[in-house]
Amino acid sequence: MAVMDRTKGTRKLLYTRRAHRFERKNKCIDCRGRGVTKAYVSEYSYEPAEQCRSCRGSGTYEDYKRYGRKSMA
Ligand SMILES: [Zn+2]
């Protein structure tokens, strides 16, 4: 569907812009350089903060790229 495709494209554009900003600062995008993810709380589940899977806890963009989403590389 055309509407869905447009939403997808906008999301990707926003993601790319954000990625460039974090790349300049050498910070992991998922945890914003902290090395841990935020605790996730919702009506049905609770996940405590844990080591970031994308950078393996280092918080650097370098490691985010190395370990992180392969599809974006
Ligand atoms: Zn991270």
Q: Evaluate if residue 25 carries a pLDDT over 90.
A: yes
Domain boundaries, the chain: 2-72
Average pLDDT over residues 4-26: 83
Q: What is the pTM of this model?
A: 0.62
Q: How far is CA 30 from CA 6, 24, 68, in A?
A: 24, 15, 9
Q: Evaluate if residue 70 carries a pLDDT over 70.
A: no
Given this model, what pLDDT does residue 4 score?
62
In angstroms, what is the span from residue 37 Cα to ligand 1's centroid?
7
- Structural tokens at position 51: 């080591």
In angstroms, what is the span from residue 46 Cα to ligand 1's centroid?
20
Average model confidence (pLDDT) across the chain: 83
In angstroms, what is the span from residue 3 Cα to ligand 1's centroid?
32
In angstroms, what is the span from residue 39 Cα to ligand 1's centroid?
13
Band of the pLDDT at 46, cuts 50, 70, 90? confident
- Structural tokens at position 50: 């844990």
In angstroms, what is the span from residue 42 Cα to ligand 1's centroid?
21
